[in-house]
Structure 1
Amino acid sequence: MEISNEMISRLAKLSRLSFNDEEKEAIKADLQNMIGFVDKLHEVDTGNVEPLLHIIPHQNIYREDRIEGHISNQEALHNAPVH
């Protein structure tokens, strides 16, 4: 996919940004590099690769709930400002 100056202008308008000509050329080159990289990724044969759902193989590890020290309602309200 070729990035045109019109496309850069349209993206700038959609994002409500303004760029001078030098910045537009730099953005154009960056976008072209990104699209080229994605095109290379499309060429990789992933037919025999299993999908990765999560990097860490662990499930959530839960612990039993424990009721520990607590404060009474009066103690909690003691910290609240008086209205």
Structure 2
Amino acid sequence: MTIDEQTVDKIAHLARLQLAADEKKGMIKDMNKILGFMDKLNEVDTTGVEPLVYMTAEPNVLRDDIVKQEITTEEALQNAPDHNESYFLVEKVIK
């Protein structure tokens, strides 16, 4: 498979990009290099190689959740710029 100008135009449209003519030429060249590299990878014999699911066999080391400081609702609202009895009040951001 090779990348042509129509393919770059379609990808640019999907990615909402506007490319100049010289940028398109560079993109065609770069994308064809990527596809050439992928073709090289397809030549590698991977028979007997298990697919890699995780980068390491080590388990995640998680710490225990320990509450170090508790505050009441009233304490949390003390420094709030705008609040009512129980909640922070913020400006509406979605119309």
Q: Same fold judged by TM-score > 0.5?
A: yes
The equivalent residue for 2:21 is: 21
TM-score, with length taken from structure 1: 0.70
Count of matched residue pairs: 83
Instruction: State, as a whole percentage, how many aligned pairs show the same letter.
Output: 40
Indicate the structure with greater helix content. 1
Give, in whole Å, the separation in 2 of the partners of 1:13 and 1:81.
Answer: 44
Q: 1:70 to 1:26 in 2, by over 3 A?
A: same
Runs of 4+ in 1 over 4 A off after TM superposition: 62-83
CA RMSD of aligned residues (A): 2.5
TM-score, with length taken from structure 2: 0.63
Write out per-residue CA displacement over residues 35-80 of structure 1, whole angstroms, 9 at most, x where no aligned residue: 1111111111111222222122111235566666655666656666
- Show structure 1 runs of 5+ residues with no match: none
Answer with 59-68 or 28-37: which moved more.
59-68
Higher relative contact order (CA 8 A, sep 6+): 1
- Show structure 2 runs of 5+ residues with no match: 84-95
- Offset at 1:8? 1.3
Structure 1 residue matching 2:28: 3-state secondary structure: helix
Within 5 Å, give how 1:3-82 maps onto structure 2.
3-62=3-62, 70=70
Answer with 2-11 or 23-32: which moved more.
2-11
